[in-house]
Each structure stands twice: as C-alpha cells, then as structure tokens.
C-alpha cells in the first residue's frame, strides 16, 4: 500500500481538486498583511504558546512534557450537541468550556494528587477513573469518554515500551520535527489521521503535528528549542481555524456547503467535504506563510522565521476571541478522535 501524501502535499492536492471549498488569493494576502504587522510581537513566537494556555504546567519539568502528551492524545471533539449544553469544568474560580475543559480537568486531577501525567498510571487506568478525572461540573459530560480512555491507555503503553516518558519516546526521532511526526504516527495508532481523496491516500495529522509543536513550545520556553524542520509542519486542521480562515476571507465555502453546515449536518470523518475543509485550510495557511515571508523579505530585507505552527498558534486563540463576530460562519461537525 503506498504511503499517504504528507500534510502539506495533501493540502495542495486537495485544494487543486476541491469542489466546495476554495482558497481565496485576496484573503490570503490580507491575512499575510495582518500577520506582518504582528511580526515583532510575542503573538508570532513559540513563547506565545504558554501565554495561550495559562493552565499548562511550568515548562521546566519533564512532567510538562508528559502533560503535553496526555492533553494532545485526548485533544479532540469538544463541540457540544447543543450550544446551550456545553460541558464545563471550573478550576480555581474560572469556568472553562471546549478544549480548555480538558486542560482544567487535568490541572484539577494533578491538584487532587492523581498521577495523571505518569504513563505507569494512565496506561492502565480504568474508564471509571478517567471519567472521574474528566468529570463535568454540569449535566453535560465531556464527549467520547470511551474513545479518550482507549487512546490514552494505548498511548501510555507505547511510552512504557520506549523508556517510560514522552521525552524518552520522542528523543528517538533526534531533534527533527518531521521524524517526530513520522515516529508518532508509526507507533501510536490513534494519531493516524488519514483519508482517501480522489483515489489518493492523504494525511492531515492534526494531533501528531500539534504534539510536536507543543513539545517545541515547551523546549523553546526552556531555551532548548533547537528543533530542525519545524517549517515542515503545517497548520493543525480542526474545526475552529477553518472558521477563522473563512471569516478572514482566506477560504470560501460554496452556498451548498454553507447550507449543509447551517443545517447542522454531521460530516463523517473522511467525507469529501470534511477533507476539503481541512485540506484547503492547510494549503491556505501555507500560502499565507509564503506571502508573509515575501513581505518580510521585501519590506524588512530579512529572512522570515515564522512557520505554519506559529500561525496556527495565533489563529486558534483569534477564533476563540472573535467567536461572537464569527458566529454566522458555521463550524463543521465531525465526531472523531482526530480533532
């Protein structure tokens, strides 16, 4: 069986054949200009990572690396069936929804003395124990508990087979971001975010890439972020960033797709429209990055060191911050373990 195209090549392949999602040249330029104006701020650096997630532990401990692994292994499908019925977790007086409920639940468990970042523990924890860790503060539970339990225990067992920590596991790829992604998807089944599009096997690898980018964020905060090939990573194709790209004009959906999403139609993982939304998001961010680097070269006479992961680190909180203005653009709904 031929190996799938890597995410960047997949994005281009999909964008060139897409029927319902289109990358818009003008919007790409607009976003590049917006990012150009932010080029000297923390918003476009890896150090913006910690700022974006106040619940992340201090980066100096190796526990922070296991924390990243636990979070990214269960980082999928937080959208509620009904907007009014969101799973909520309150931690230290702040009530969180969405992805942050996971971070808050893990922080709460650590405070309660549960060794949730120890692979020896989470590789064999029961579903009931995980249910207790991820408990909601209202009647709406966090979705997909069974799947979260399955992927976390599987991931823990893989870490135990490779030195017993995420640090020892990932060090097998040296300091190369591309090799890290390849290692993760080879060894941990739940990270194989792949599909078939027009007869071609493609990959999107949202969680594998975000795991490497988060690892880089922690190492960068320690002053040890000399990871090569970070530019090989693409954006992390989920359901929040595509919405921001449509809002900013870098992506356009056909009326037919808009109608289907507005009706709340559930797209299955691998559905053509779902693959187009994610693939075109990847390709539009690649073009934004190219355009941004061109601006930096032309106007500043400098080499651009902004990669797609950093652009994603900016766009995701941007989407959260502007969610009210973006409410008229529907997010696509796919219940799966990949994002």
Whether 238 is catalytic: yes
What lies within 8 Å, CB to CB, of 61 at 6+ separation is: none
Counting every residue written for the chain, the total comes to: 339
C-alpha to C-alpha distances, 177 to 59, 65, 299, nearest whole angstrom: 19, 15, 30
Short-list 288, 280, 336, 291, CA closest to 309: 288
CB atoms within 10 A of CB 224: 12
CA distance linking residue 47 with residue 138, whole number of Å: 34
**Catalytic residue from among 226, 238, 255, 300:** 238
Q: What is the C-alpha to C-alpha distance for residues 254 and 246, in angstroms, rounded to an integer?
A: 11
Residue 252, SS3? strand
Residues 154-181: b if buried by 16+ CB within 10 A, e if exposed: ebbebbeebebbbbebbeebebbbbbbb
Give the whole-angstrom CA distance, residue 245 versus residue 252. Answer: 8
Residue 81 structure tokens: 């069936």
| E strand segments, 89-185 | 89-91, 94-96
Q: Judge whether 303 and 112 are in contact, CB under 8 Å.
A: no
**Residue 51 C-beta-side C-alpha neighbours within 13 Å:** 13
Buried b (16+ CB within 10 A) or exposed e, 239-250: bbbbbbbbbbeb
The pair phi, psi for residue 266, each rounded to 5°, is -85, 125
Strand partners, 47: none
> By the 8 A CB rule, do 234 and 285 touch?
yes
For the annotated catalytic residues, the residue numbers are: 238
């Amino acid at each position: 069986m031929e190996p799938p195209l890597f995410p960047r090549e997949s994005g281009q392949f999909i964008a060139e054949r897409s029927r319902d999602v289109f990358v818009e040249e003008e919007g790409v330029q607009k976003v590049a200009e917006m990012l150009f104006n932010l080029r000297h701020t923390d918003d476009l650096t890896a150090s913006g990572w910690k700022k974006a997630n106040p619940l992340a532990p201090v980066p100096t401990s190796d526990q922070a690396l296991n924390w990243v692994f636990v979070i990214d292994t269960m980082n999928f499908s937080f959208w509620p069936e009904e907007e009014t019925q969101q799973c909520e977790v309150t931690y230290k007086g702040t009530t969180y929804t969405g992805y942050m409920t996971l971070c808050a639940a893990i922080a709460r468990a650590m405070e309660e003395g549960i060794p949730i970042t120890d692979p020896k523990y989470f590789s064999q924890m029961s579903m009931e124990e995980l249910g207790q860790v991820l408990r909601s503060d209202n009647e709406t539970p966090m979705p997909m508990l069974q799947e979260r339990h399955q992927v976390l225990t599987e991931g823990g067992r893989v870490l135990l087979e490779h030195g017993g920590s995420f640090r020892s596991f990932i060090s097998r790829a040296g300091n190369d971001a591309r090799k890290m992604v390849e290692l993760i998807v080879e060894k941990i089944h739940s990270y194989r975010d792949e599909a078939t599009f027009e007869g071609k096997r493609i990959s999107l690898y949202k969680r594998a890439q975000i795991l490497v980018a988060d690892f880089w964020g922690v190492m960068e905060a320690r002053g040890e972020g000399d990871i090569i090939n970070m530019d090989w990573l693409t954006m992390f194709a989920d359901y929040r960033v595509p919405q921001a790209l449509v809002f900013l004009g870098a992506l356009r959906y056909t009326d037919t797709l808009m109608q289907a999403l507005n009706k709340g139609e559930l797209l299955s993982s691998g559905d053509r429209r779902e693959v187009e939304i994610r693939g075109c998001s990847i390709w539009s961010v690649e073009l934004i990055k190219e355009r941004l680097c061109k601006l930096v070269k032309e106007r500043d006479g400098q080499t651009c060191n902004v990669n797609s992961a950093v652009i994603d680190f900016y766009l995701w909180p941007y989407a959260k911050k502007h969610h009210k203005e973006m409410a008229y653009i529907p997010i696509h709904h796919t219940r799966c373990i990949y994002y």
